[in-house]
């Protein structure tokens, strides 16, 4: 009861409604999960899906063994969803700025998005933001981490990914459960991405064919990421020169940028994707706007700095994690006013 009262005074009515709905969604998801052995014995799950469940369990075992951590009950169960994605994220941005507007919660910090289990709730939230003059981007999410607060199950949305992508995904989400910095989503995502990529390379290192596929994918992913990040910063620079401005002018600036600058570069990237048989290129089908670019920056902006910092330390992945944990302890003791990202990368 005391927690509910605190939430009531801290949260607006709409915020309390959001928390209630997402709490119900989380509980419903956990309750729908069944033990992996039961799922594996079901005739309703095909052989390919069953193999992916087995792969996820092996990835999980490898993850905790590699970092010498006590294993958990995460991914011991599987939940079969009644929709393709598990949640839907909505990112908001101003019409003349490429920057995600944050939503804050006193126990978990601030996030540059809100997630919804129900797509209609996500659409309603996006519509309300658009009515206020904001630009929004709604995207499906196929995996997420509750940061160790719950025993997350395997989700049927995981089956969307192939064997190599699945390793990246599992290692990424599990990393959030062992290292997470409050209020620093960009850094958390960059670190989880860094650790998951290297861990996948280690896991498949004995398989030359798969190692070469991973290498090719990494090179292409890096190329795509750098192009989109540089494009996001380029349109942000144009806004700074030309704005503040009204929605009509900012739209003219953005549309001109897409047509003359951004889309021609995407054509080149799509040709590269086709060359390496990396699947269908859907970059041009995506709805590109300020919020879309802001979402990309959230996941990619700190990536290069983390990679450079890791290379500079000249340690393996286990010792790099130990170093990060020690740095975070030092940061907390220092009561530094800057972010941990600045403390780690700039000091």
Residue ranges with strand state E in the chain: 34-35, 77-79, 87-93, 103-105, 109-111, 114-116, 135-141, 154-155
Residue 220 and residue 278 in contact, taking contact as beta carbons nearer than 8 Å: yes
Residue 100 and residue 298 in contact, taking contact as beta carbons nearer than 8 Å: yes
Please report the pLDDT score of residue 73 as a whole number: 93
Residue 302 and residue 176 in contact, taking contact as beta carbons nearer than 8 Å: no
How much is the pTM? 0.85
The span from the CA of 207 to the CA of 115, in Å, is 37
Residue 26 burial by Cβ neighbours in a 10 Å radius (0-12, 13-18, 19+)? middle
The span from the CA of 254 to the CA of 270, in Å, is 21
The span from the CA of 229 to the CA of 324, in Å, is 25
Please report the pLDDT score of residue 24 as a whole number: 80
Kindly report the backbone phi and psi dihedral angles of residue 79, in degrees, each rounded to the nearest multiple of 5, phi listed first: -115, 125
**How many other CB atoms are found less than 10 A from the CB of residue 325?**
12
Tell me which residue of 60, 27, 21 sits closest to 154, measured CA to CA. Answer: 60
The ranges of the chain with pLDDT < 70 are 1-17, 106-108, 276-279, 298-301, 347
Strand partners, 109: 105
How many angstroms from the chain centroid is the CA of residue 292?
A: 13
Residue 293's alpha-carbon distances to 107, 233, 307, in angstroms, are 28, 9, 21
Please report the pLDDT score of residue 111 as a whole number: 81
Domain ranges in the chain? 33-345
Reduced to 3 states, what is the DSSP secondary structure of residue 205? Answer: coil
How many angstroms from the chain centroid is the CA of residue 39?
A: 27
pLDDT in tens, 110-129: 788 888 999 999 999 999 99
Q: Which residues contact 125 (CB under 8 A, 6 or more apart)?
A: 90, 114, 116
The residue length of the chain stands at: 347
């Amino acid at each position: 009861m005391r927690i509910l009262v605190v939430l009531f005074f801290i949260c607006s009515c709409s915020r309390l409604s959001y928390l209630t709905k997402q709490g119900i969604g989380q509980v419903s998801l956990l309750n729908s999960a069944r033990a992996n052995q039961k799922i594996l014995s079901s005739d309703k799950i095909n052989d390919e899906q069953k193999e992916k469940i087995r792969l996820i369990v092996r990835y999980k075992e490898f993850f905790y063994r590699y970092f010498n951590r006590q294993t958990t009950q995460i991914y011991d169960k599987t939940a079969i969803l009644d929709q393709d994605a598990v949640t839907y994220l909505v990112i908001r941005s101003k019409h003349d700025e490429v920057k995600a507007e944050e939503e804050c919660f006193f126990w978990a910090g601030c996030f540059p998005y809100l997630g919804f289990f129900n797509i209609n709730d996500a659409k309603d939230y996006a519509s309300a933001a658009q009515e206020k003059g904001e630009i929004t981007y709604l995207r499906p999410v196929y995996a997420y981490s509750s940061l160790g607060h719950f025993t997350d199950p395997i989700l049927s949305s995981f089956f969307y990914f192939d064997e190599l992508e699945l390793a990246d995904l599992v290692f990424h989400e599990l990393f959030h459960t062992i290292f997470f910095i409050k209020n620093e989503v960009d850094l958390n995502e960059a670190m989880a991405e860094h650790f998951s990529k290297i861990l996948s390379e280690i896991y498949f290192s004995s398989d030359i064919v798969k190692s070469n596929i991973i290498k090719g994918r990494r090179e292409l992913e890096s190329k795509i990421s750098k192009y989109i990040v540089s494009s996001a910063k380029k349109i942000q620079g144009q806004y700074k020169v030309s704005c503040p401005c009204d929605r009509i002018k900012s739209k003219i600036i953005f549309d001109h940028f897409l047509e003359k600058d951004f889309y021609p570069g995407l054509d080149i990237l799509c040709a590269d994707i086709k060359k390496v048989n990396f699947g269908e290129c859907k970059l041009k089908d995506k709805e590109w706007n300020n919020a879309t670019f802001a979402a990309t920056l959230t996941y990619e902006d700190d990536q290069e700095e983390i990679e450079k910092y890791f290379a500079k330390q000249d340690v393996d992945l286990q010792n790099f994690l130990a170093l990060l944990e020690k740095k975070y302890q030092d940061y907390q003791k220092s009561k530094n006013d800057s972010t941990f990202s600045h403390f780690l990368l700039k000091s």
